[in-house]
Amino acid sequence: MADRPMTDGFMTGRPSSGRSPAGGFPLGDRTVRRMGYGAMQLAGPGVFGPPKDRDAALAVLRAAVASGVDHIDTSDFYGPHVTNQLIREALHPYPDNLTIVTKVGAVRGADASWIPAQSPAELTQAVRDNLRNLGVDVLDVVNLRVMGDVHAPSEGSIAAQFTALAELQRQGLIRHLGLSNVTSAQVAEARRIAQVVCVQNHYNLAHREDDALIDELAAEGIAYVPFFPLGGFTPLQSSTLSDVAVKLGATPMQVALAWLLHRSPNILLIPGTSSIEHLRENLGAAELALSDETIAELDAVGRGHAR
């Protein structure tokens, strides 16, 4: 099947043509669109402090929801507190179909450092901070962010932390639980304690360590949400990616996002931006269809065989 140009189906609701991966996947008791929005970049530099342009940040959030986004990822340690307060100001009262996913497990130091906060008391406080700053009585989904090696998981029991969150779920403060920065063994351990609806790990076209885990989760109907889908603080760079983008009349970042959507039906994307222009560019990737030949070409980037 030939590659097809990007359309604005995500924006208008028109069906896409070709092998577009646009669609939905269950996240807890709701099915959300596979292209969501990550709010991390709405905070100041280093994900710390207020944004340079508060009005622009609010406008991006409103534009995301107006464009059909029904899955927003955040945390009260972004800022800290900044992104949640922006989300509340921009969108509260929230649309009935909007799922807001947050994460707990760290706090920020006065020097903008990331400090593990994994005790039951710290996790409980983090949940209450999220509730207050988002302006809700119950959180849709809370991910336990295991600190590990910052952006890579490391083995070790997470039973105490996940049990603490499961207790808050039983108290009615959390609807669903997820995990972030974890190994397959930790997912299995957590699932013995409570249901896990999503896993959020570092994964993108060039960073493929979670290939096996994605397939495991897909078989169980569990969503996989890659963080740094475009490379994070070091954006993806590949001549193969650029060449494919030129051929499709798209941007390299759109192609990288489209590849993720084609990778597995359980992948939910949360690319972040503080720009409406970039937001629309990201959303457009949901309508970018890729042929089997193009997917194979892009797959080689992760195997280190690309030019």
* Angle between helical axes of 54-66 and 276-284 (0-180°, round to 10): 30
Task: Give the 3-state secondary structure of residue 272.
Answer: strand
SS3 state at 133 = helix
Closest C-alpha to 39, from 80, 69, 84 = 84
Distance CA 303, CA 55 (A): 42
78 is catalytic: yes
20 phi and psi, to 5 degrees?
Answer: -70, 135
- Burial of 304: CB neighbours in 10 Å, binned 0-12, 13-18, 19+: exposed
Strand partners, 180: 145, 200
Task: Quote the CA–CA distance of 220 and 105 in Å, as a whole number.
Answer: 25
Alpha helices in 171-251, H assignment, sequence order: 184-191, 211-219, 239-248
Residue type, 214: I
Residue 164 CA to residue 176 CA, distance in Å, equals 13
73 contacts 37 by C-beta, under 8 angstroms: yes
Q: Are 147 and 175 a contacting pair, CB within 8 Å?
A: no
Please tell me the distance from the alpha carbon of residue 224 to that of residue 262, in angstroms, as a whole number.
13
Catalytically annotated residue among 37, 78, 203, 224: 78
Q: Which residues are catalytic?
A: 78
